[in-house]
Chains A and B, each alone.
Chain A
Amino acid sequence: MATEEHGAEGGLVFHPMDQFLVKPLFGGHEVAWYTITNVTLWMALAVVCIALLFVMGTRRRALVPSRTQSVAELAYGFIYKMVEDITGKDGLRYFPYIMTLFLFIVFSNFLGLLPLAFTTTSHIAVTAVLAMGVFLTVTILGFVKNGPGFLSLFWVSAAPLPIRPVLAVIELISYFARPVSHSIRLAGNMMAGHAVIKVFAAFAPLVLMSGIGVLVTPLSILAITAMYGLEILVAFIQAYVFTILTCVYLKDALHPHH
């Protein structure tokens, strides 16, 4: 595929998906489960950033906060309010868990926007684990908290009795579709945006090779800029969406009777 495009465009190099390759950091080609790869590096950077913001930034415990502390408090308040509004007071027990998810996703998304970065959240393996974690937690929690009563989530008592079994099937299917949409939404958004930027970037050096580049190069640079702006928006929105859906699922587990 890559070589075909290579030949067709005469010198342009199209490798929009190369940025997603998982590579060992210290040589070798084998990627065993323990190998230190670029995944490890960028996840570690996310951890470092979170620690800097939330531990270093708040270490003075100032009554009148510094800028960094303000940002940390703002993020705290943002997620805390979200959990409280959606799941109610009893959902606040799971606040650290949701905060962990949100911070990991938001930092991974934004770190992935740095040039030459590796976006861990663009990988389905990562988002699937996150989504399955949420799905399993919520399902188990639902049965532990409500017993068989959790199944009333699928029995829509607001609907007329004859169509309830049909609705139950639909609800059941949509329930099991949750982790799929939950994970593919995040990975898909991240991957698509980055790949598009990379494609435009491949067109950018055309001015060095042919006359049409005078037109194409400024356009592609403009497109990269615009896409980058959009990606900044998407990076936050996807983290927000993932988190808010987690809260909604958690609410279903805690209060299945609506």
Chain B
Amino acid sequence: MATEATEGAHGAAEATAAVGMPQLDFSTFPNQIFWLVVTLVVIYLILSRVALPRIASVLTDRQGTIANDIAAAEELKLKAQEAEKAYEQALADARAEASRIAAETRAEIGAQLDEAKAKADAEIAARAAESQKRIEEIRAGAADAVAEVARDTASELVALLTPGKGDAQAVSAAVAARLKG
């Protein structure tokens, strides 16, 4: 039914379709060619007046922007390299300065230390000498005291053993001789 309806509607078209290929129906050629030419002209105008110049300008702009960006990046890279170099230099300077200060300080402290040591040594030597002197004095004092005690003790013993015959002079001489060895 549907086919009958379409066939009815096609009527005239069927007659031409009987040829087989609608492509070879020359009666439609002027129509197709006319509309094709119109279409091509319209497309050409749209492209050449609006679309293509616009795209071309966008592409050129983009190219320019990219080139500029690359140049700027290149410049920044150079700057960064310079900055790095300056930083390295500053770091090296700082290191040298620091080691110099350290050496100086070490030398100063060493000098101070030596001075203090010398002073301390001198003081110690002085104290030791003083002490030595006092020890000598004490020792001398002790030897005198021993001699006196020995003399006294000897005179007492002599007086006790031989009363009235003690000669103080002789006793002390004997003691002194004995003490000497």
Contacts and interface: CB of A to CB of B under 8 A. Distances in A.
B101 interface: no
B112 to A, nearest CB: 71
Interface string B46-72: 111011101111110110010000000
Contacts of A239: none
Contacts of A129: 33, 36-37
A1 B59 contact: no
Interface string A122-134: 1111100110010
B169 interface: no
Contacts of B162: none
B11 interface: yes
B12 interface: yes
B3 A13 contact: yes
A13 B57 CA distance: 54
Contacts of B52: 76, 95-96, 99
A126 B47 CA distance: 20
A126 B32 CA distance: 7
B17 interface: yes
A125 B26 CA distance: 8
Interface in B17-43: 17-18, 20-25, 27-40, 42-43
Could you tell me the dominant secondary structure of chain B's interface residues?
A: helix
**Most chain A beta-carbon contacts within 10 A, residue among B27, B32, B38:** B32
Contacts of B11: 29
Nearest to A19: B22
A31 B39 contact: no
Could you tell me the dominant secondary structure of chain A's interface residues?
A: helix
Given A2-B17, A96-B47, A47 B36 contact: no
A109 interface: no
Contacts of A2: 17
B23 A123 contact: yes
Given A1-B18, A63-B65, A100-B44, A39 B3 contact: no
Given A31-B27, A33-B33, A61-B57, 18 more contacts: A2-B17, A13-B3, A17-B22, A21-B13, A22-B28, A32-B30, A32-B31, A50-B46, A50-B47, A54-B47, A62-B58, A72-B51, A96-B47, A104-B43, A123-B32, A125-B29, A129-B37, A191-B21
Interface of B: 3, 10-13, 16-18, 20-25, 27-40, 42-44, 46-48, 50-52, 54-59, 61-62, 65
